Amino acid sequence: MIRLEHVTKRYDGGGAPALDDVTCEITRGEFVFVVGASGSGKSTLMRLITREISPSQGSVLVAGRDLVALPDRQVPALRREIGVVFQDFRLLEGKTVYQNVAFVLRVLGTKRHRIKQLVPETLDLVGLDGKAGRLPHELSGGEQQRVAIARAVVKKPPILLADEPTGNLDPETSAEIVTVLDRINKTGTTVAMATHDQGIVDDFRKRVLELADGVLVRDEASGGYLRDADRYDDLEDEA
């Protein structure tokens, strides 16, 4: 579903690469945590998958597309197959919960009767049934993140990327949000969630990709570190 092969990403400012020779694969229907300290390259990885940025070296394959060779005009089609959730929710303040979720479908030209069917279904999936008429500022942080998740999955994308979705939430609400993501994963959606919350990762026992200073240092599903233990310990101490 998502495959990175020897991906290196350097930003224009120079310095150390944000991602350094990363190779990994996330298969269809998986739930993967991408962990690492701030600046370790988690968000860069997410942005590479949505083709907001391109790698300096290596190749990125998502949903059967080679993103390095993908023409710009085909990027929207790629993004229609990916839902994205952010730490800061990014809801439209002047629109209700229903309107925020329906906005995506309206932008994509979905028929009105289909919108009326999909939006309540999705709000129910994320546990927001009965709150369709609320405005974002009338909701708690956890509820706002549920709206953001509903907005990301209402178009039924095969891939859901969540970039630090629990970063602004207390531990209990964070666990609820990951439970919602887990529920979505069980419907067949591939989920990749970037987080630096080790507690969440430990509690949910999913596959873990760990980045440190742009290097993939752990892929738990593969059963061992990709780098030697001493180097990883050094990186951990620095972090």
Contact positions toward other proteins, by CB under 8 A?
50, 72-73, 75-84, 90, 92, 103-104, 106-109, 112, 151, 155
Q: How far apart are CA 232 and CA 149, in angstroms?
A: 33
67 vs 200, which CB is nearer to other proteins?
67
CB of residue 90 to other proteins, shortest distance in Å: 6
Structure tokens at 151: 């907005």
CB of residue 109 to other proteins, shortest distance in Å: 5
**Hey, what amino acid is at 187?**
T
**What element of type H or E holds 190?**
strand 190-195
> Alpha carbon of 95 to those of 4, 53, 70, 92, 104: distances in Å?
37, 30, 34, 6, 12
Q: How far apart are CA 26 and CA 1, in angstroms?
A: 6
76 vs 130, which CB is nearer to other proteins?
76
Strand 215-219 and strand 190-195: the pairing is unpaired
73 vs 137, which CB is nearer to other proteins?
73
191 vs 217, which CB is nearer to other proteins?
191
CB of residue 76 to other proteins, shortest distance in Å: 5
CB of residue 104 to other proteins, shortest distance in Å: 5
Q: How far apart are CA 72 and CA 167, in angstroms?
A: 31
- Helix, strand, coil abundance in the chain, percent, nearest 5: 40, 25, 35
78 vs 193, which CB is nearer to other proteins?
78
CB of residue 84 to other proteins, shortest distance in Å: 5
Place of tokens 């439209």: 92
Q: Residue 25 in contact with residue 15, Cβ under 8 Å?
A: no
161 vs 216, which CB is nearer to other proteins?
161
Residue 157 CA, distance from chain mean position: 12
CB of residue 123 to other proteins, shortest distance in Å: 17
